Amino acid sequence: MTSHSSVDRRRRRSLTLREAADQFRRHPSPWMVGGMLAVAVAARLGVGDWHLSDAVLPVVMLALFPFAEWVIHVCILHWKPRRILGLTVDSLLARKHREHHVDPRDVPLVFIPWQTLTWLIPVLAGLSVLAFPRLGLGLTFLVTLSALGVVYEWTHYLIHSDYKPKSRFYRAIWRSHRHHHYKNEHYWFTVTTTGTADRLLGTAPDPESVEKSPTARSLHTMR
């Protein structure tokens, strides 16, 4: 009789990139973020009014994205439930992320919760319209952010899927994020890059120098 571990190893060897993409499309969050991207692109092309700032803004956002990932991961996803004025403050994102650490191979938990996207997408759309001096620049912001969101969802999903890394670049990202889940949850917070924000903020140590954490799979559990 074939053991579960043998089945898992065989699945890991056999999953192709196309099969991974087929599984990716079965979940709501990629469609929601991808839909925001499609609408934003159509609106941006319709508005026109191109300026140099429409080229500069995406470059700045791309440079800052690893730091945004780091801050969101540390401050929101790894939020420890707190009692404030008699109420427990604990967001859906933090709760789902703790579940994700318990079982990193549970695919639905890999994605941004669709419940969060139902309010986050309108907020981002409103921000793109109201917070910029030009509508065109706001839509450039929304297009760039949506594209980064799709890249994040795909990269995070692929790391946790049974697809084996092929390129050196992806292998480095894959290894870094798996260290976060299986080695020590206090390090390696970026997902789509490696050696960027983590290295600059001191959370990319030599893995050989880091002890295996007993709480990597159960965040905030007392040792």
Q: What angle do CA 25, 30, 36 make, to 5 degrees?
A: 130
Q: Which residues of the chain have pLDDT under 70?
A: 1-14, 221-223
Structure confidence at residue 13 (pLDDT): 54
Q: What angle do CA 25, 28, 31 make, to 5 degrees?
A: 65
Q: What pLDDT score does 66 carry?
A: 98
| Residue 14: predicted pLDDT | 64
CA distances from 13 to 162, 172, 177 (A): 7, 19, 19
Do residues 85 and 93 touch, judged by C-beta distance below 8 A? Answer: no
For residue 160, count CB atoms less than 10 angstroms from its CB and return exposed for 0-12, middle for 13-18, buried for 19 or more. Answer: buried
Position 46 scores a pLDDT of 98
Residues 6+ apart with CB under 8 A from 69: 152, 189, 190, 191, 192, 193, 197
Give the pLDDT of residue 199.
96
The answer, as to whether pTM is greater than 0.85, is: yes
